[in-house]
């Protein structure tokens, strides 16, 4: 009588030759089933998906529910700006930002800080300072704020928007710029000294199209900083897109060329005016450009619901005013899930 092979011997043989998954292995559907949140889908390709947060809206259950479910990284939208953190020279107010940071940290989320030095959102006392006194005040601001959040900020936008729009690639005229060309690197060095563990970013808008003069000017600055050992770790491409400033065809080229300088690249303030399928496709294009470059480490959308946006009339975000996901949300989630399968 033919000896019957035991079931366990058959199973072992099929496992050995790879026809059966090892015992206890997740089922094939678990490994390839799409992630159901933006953060989880981005994590599949080692990236983060974040959002700008307005602290006073954390008491809104719809707002906080979306934030807590969908996003892994939080940027206080205004609470870390100069006017919010040092409204009077030498007197620092951190409570509004702490509310956002504490909420994020409590939920295991990471925090992007914005912006240590910026030509906008300045308190009135800064306007009265010039020269060495202004330079000292600027660097003290960087030091005090970065030190207060030491160990709790994943990345700082140390400086933002220092180049003028237009064909020249010139620096923007500002009180900080008038203290001398070296103010930017001085800010980065002060931030590194205050919080050695935070990634230090330069953040700007209209630097998504590779051939634009402003993009080239930023790229030259970052290349120079890297060559001279100025501590810079990342570049934030704000990615505010509209019908007149669409997602450029060479977006991935821009991201790749910044990454080639040895820095991380982040879409730091993504929002795209529009609606429906056209908006969804534009979001898909922006996300796909990031997924195409390994050192594009994360994406932050600049607000939760359309009604939370700095430009609400353009309905530029992923959730509608009721908190319902829009076609753009589905396109982003689908792109991020596809990105994981690269």
Rounded to whole angstroms, the Cα distance separating 21 from 15 reads 6
Residues 153, 195: contact at Cβ < 8 Å?
yes
| Listed ranges 23-31, 74-82, 251-259, 292-300: which one lies at the site for ligand G3I (CB under 6 A) | 74-82
Q: Say if strands 296-301 and 240-241 run parallel, antiparallel, or are unpaired.
A: unpaired
Residues 85, 238, 335, 337: which binds ligand G3I (CB under 6 A)? 238
Closest to ligand G3I by CB, 94 or 310: 310
**Beta carbon of residue 53, minimum distance to ligand G3I (angstroms, whole number):** 11
Residue 46, judged by CB atoms within 10 A of its CB (0-12, 13-18, 19+), counts as exposed
Residues 70, 77, 86, 185: which binds ligand G3I (CB under 6 A)? 77
**Beta carbon of residue 272, minimum distance to ligand G3I (angstroms, whole number):** 14
Site residues for ligand G3I, window 175-234 (CB under 6 A)? 205
**Beta carbon of residue 220, minimum distance to ligand G3I (angstroms, whole number):** 21
Does 120 sit near ligand G3I (CB under 6 A)?
yes
Does 174 sit near ligand G3I (CB under 6 A)?
no
Residues 320, 305: contact at Cβ < 8 Å?
yes
Residue of closest CB approach to ligand G3I: 310
Tracing tokens 């906080």 back to the chain, one arrives at: 64
**Beta carbon of residue 317, minimum distance to ligand G3I (angstroms, whole number):** 11
Which of the following is catalytic: 161, 185, 208, 273?
Answer: 161
Does 310 sit near ligand G3I (CB under 6 A)?
yes
Residues of the chain by 3-state class (helix, strand, coil), percent to 5: 45, 15, 40
Site residues for ligand G3I, window 246-275 (CB under 6 A)? 269
Residues 63, 67, 78, 200: which binds ligand G3I (CB under 6 A)? 78
Q: Is 86 a catalytic residue?
A: no
Does 121 sit near ligand G3I (CB under 6 A)?
yes
Torsions phi, psi of 99, nearest 5? -60, -40
CB atoms within 10 A of CB 289: 24
Tokens of 176: 């900080």
Is the bond preceding 115 in cis, omega lying within 30 degrees of 0?
A: yes
Q: What is the DSSP letter of 200?
A: E
- DSSP-derived 3-state class of residue 217: helix
Q: Is 269 a catalytic residue?
A: yes
**Beta carbon of residue 294, minimum distance to ligand G3I (angstroms, whole number):** 26
Residues 215, 209: contact at Cβ < 8 Å?
yes
- Give me the active site residues, please: 161, 269
Chain residues in the site for ligand G3I (CB under 6 A): 77-78, 81, 114, 120-121, 160, 205, 238, 269, 310
């Amino acid at each position: 009588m033919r000896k019957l092979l035991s079931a366990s011997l058959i199973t072992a043989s099929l496992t050995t030759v790879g026809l059966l998954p090892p015992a206890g292995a997740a089922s094939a559907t678990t490994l390839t089933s799409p992630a159901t949140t933006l953060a989880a889908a981005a994590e599949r390709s080692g990236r983060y998906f974040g959002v700008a947060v307005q602290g006073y809206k954390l008491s809104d259950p719809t707002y906080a529910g979306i934030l807590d479910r969908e996003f892994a990284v939080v940027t206080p939208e205004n609470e870390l700006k100069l006017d919010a953190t040092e409204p009077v020279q030498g007197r620092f107010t951190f409570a509004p930002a702490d509310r956002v940071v504490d909420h994020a940290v409590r939920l295991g989320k990471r925090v992007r800080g914005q912006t240590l030095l910026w030509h906008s959102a300045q308190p009135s006392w800064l306007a009265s300072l010039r020269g060495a006194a202004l330079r000292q005040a600027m660097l003290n601001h960087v030091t005090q704020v970065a030190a207060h959040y030491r160990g709790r900020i994943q990345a700082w936008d140390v400086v933002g928007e220092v180049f003028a729009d237009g064909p020249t690639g010139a620096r923007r005229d500002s009180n900080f710029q008038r203290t001398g060309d070296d103010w930017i690197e001085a800010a980065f060095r002060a931030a590194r000294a205050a919080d050695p563990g935070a990634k230090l970013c330069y953040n700007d808008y209209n630097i998504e199209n590779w051939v634009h003069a402003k993009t080239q000017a930023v790229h030259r600055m970052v290349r120079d900083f890297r060559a001279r050992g100025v501590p810079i770790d990342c570049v934030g491409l704000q990615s505010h897109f509209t019908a007149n400033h669409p997602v450029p065809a060479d977006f991935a080229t821009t991201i790749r060329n910044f990454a080639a300088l040895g820095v991380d690249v982040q879409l730091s303030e993504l929002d795209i005016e529009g609606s429906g399928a056209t908006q969804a496709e534009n979001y898909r294009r922006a996300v796909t450009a990031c997924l195409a470059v390994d050192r594009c480490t994360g994406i932050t959308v600049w607000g939760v619901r359309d009604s939370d946006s700095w430009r609400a009339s353009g309905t530029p975000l992923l959730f509608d005013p009721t908190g319902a996901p829009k076609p753009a949300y589905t396109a982003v989630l689908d792109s991020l899930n596809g990105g994981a399968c690269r």
